[in-house]
Structure 1
């Protein structure tokens, strides 16, 4: 019928949190254009939950953290709209990206999901190299056409039933607040990756425990030009390599624990 127009598409902004004060405020402000903002918090102790409870535009739910994939899958189920924008608490949507998101979801020929390139920030200063030049993630997608695969429990992967496009504008990622904060994240990721390896029956290897972290540092600092980021690049590349080392240490601990449990139940 003449005169009818396509209804404006509604958008749900989804975020998971744990102790994100100093990050979450900017993130929430940057997605205020969304029709709903849902945050799933895994029992923060730094005031994050209280901040979110008092925010007039946020619906916050607490849910125990098992791993990133299960937490994000739980969060996705809370969305009431088909189009979802899934962010990490340390990510920020710029005004230009906001406009591109709105135009994209209201395009009748839109794909089912979209990759975002990210601009990394180290204590509010750009980090231009250090292995992240080509980093991109699925952040905008139709809930009805995508789900998080259960084959990964960290660096979760989205499976899309359809096409994926790439947005032009970059998402800002405030990856580094201070040394201890980033170090704790890398160690946490390393331990979760070790569990993922353990479930896949990948066995601990002393040689790989030496080679893999060294390669991670060399690859990001030399090959991926981390040295051009100066001291920032050195710090990031070292901590990323430390996370890989922790992955092997944790895998060794898990194997020993499993062996001990086996011998304890032997007749």
Structure 2
């Protein structure tokens, strides 16, 4: 497959964006949409002649990625995050993909935590649909946990998308606050029911059990245990924030927490 546009949404990614761009040496162009970087992200991107750089106010993950797709020149898009890299095997698989057979292709993500690969906990193969025809597919308009919606046939590519997910525990905790807030706002937007306290606790405990036991996180040693605990904390934070939003005393207070 030739004539592929890569799309990236970014904010303060100077640590990651250079290596990400370097792994995209096979695409025709790279569309980068920045929602307000204050570091060297823009400088690094503009040094690559293939990059078309846009500033765009944040509207949620789904809307931001669809805006990036709308700026692309080509119909076949590879959506990639700044902390991801295309492996040589995946590169070859993308170039050999048949654009007439499927409307989209999913890829396996090889996830790392603190520089260490996580093979269990549900973190591998962690398939995501990332290569798609924008004439037939589009990201769902979600604030967080967005995914490409593809009504047509979907194939699977060989090779891994290497993902340096979190630099460590501090990085996870920092992002957990933002993601749990966005997930809670999405739940309120979808008019979910207010969970009871027992449900909040129960879902959190089940998250740990699922990752550590059912998804065999125990085989990842200390990393598997820590990740299972951290994701249980995320689940608790998300549902506790849903309760907070739905039981807020007035709409003004609720609105302040939505974005």
Normalised by the length of structure 2, the TM-score is 0.90
Once the two structures are TM-superposed, the CA of residue 57 in structure 1 deviates from its matched residue by 2.7
Which residue in the other structure is 2:62 paired with? 69
1:52 counterpart (45, 52, 56): 45
Once the two structures are TM-superposed, the CA of residue 86 in structure 1 deviates from its matched residue by 0.3
- Residues 182 and 10 of structure 1: is their aligned pair in 2 closer, same or farther, counting only changes over 3 Å? same
CA distance in 2, matches of 1:171, 1:108: 20
CA distance in 1, matches of 2:217, 2:57: 36
Unmatched runs of 5 consecutive residues or more in structure 2: 254-259
SS of structure 2 residue aligned to 1:144: coil
1:33-90 residue CA offsets vs partner (Å, 9 max, x unmatched)? 1100111111022322332233333221111112111111111111110110001111
Which residue in the other structure is 1:165 paired with? 155
Once the two structures are TM-superposed, the CA of residue 135 in structure 1 deviates from its matched residue by 1.3
**What is the correspondence of 1:49-198 to structure 2 with a 5 Å cutoff?**
49-104=42-97, 107=98, 109-150=100-141, 152-198=142-188
Contact 2:118 2:124 in 1 (8 A): no
Contact 1:131 1:221 in 2 (8 A): no
Q: State the superposition RMSD in angstroms.
A: 1.9
Report which stretch shifted further, 195-204 or 9-18: 195-204
Which residue in the other structure is 1:237 paired with? 228
* 1:216 maps onto 2:207 in alignment: yes
CA distance in 1, matches of 2:200, 2:155: 37
* 1:248 maps onto 2:247 in alignment: no
Contact 1:194 1:247 in 2 (8 A): yes
Which residue in the other structure is 2:191 paired with? 201
CA distance in 2, matches of 1:97, 1:9: 14
Once the two structures are TM-superposed, the CA of residue 262 in structure 1 deviates from its matched residue by 8.0
CA distance in 2, matches of 1:62, 1:169: 32
1:31 counterpart (21, 24, 35): 24
Contact 2:130 2:148 in 1 (8 A): no
CA distance in 1, matches of 2:146, 2:43: 27
Normalised by the length of structure 1, the TM-score is 0.88
* 1:225 maps onto 2:216 in alignment: yes
- Residues 253 and 54 of structure 1: is their aligned pair in 2 closer, same or farther, counting only changes over 3 Å? farther
* 1:12 maps onto 2:2 in alignment: no
- Residues 262 and 140 of structure 1: is their aligned pair in 2 closer, same or farther, counting only changes over 3 Å? closer
Unmatched runs of 5 consecutive residues or more in structure 1: 1-7
Once the two structures are TM-superposed, the CA of residue 108 in structure 1 deviates from its matched residue by 5.7
SS of structure 2 residue aligned to 1:154: coil
- Residues 108 and 207 of structure 1: is their aligned pair in 2 closer, same or farther, counting only changes over 3 Å? closer
CA distance in 1, matches of 2:239, 2:230: 15
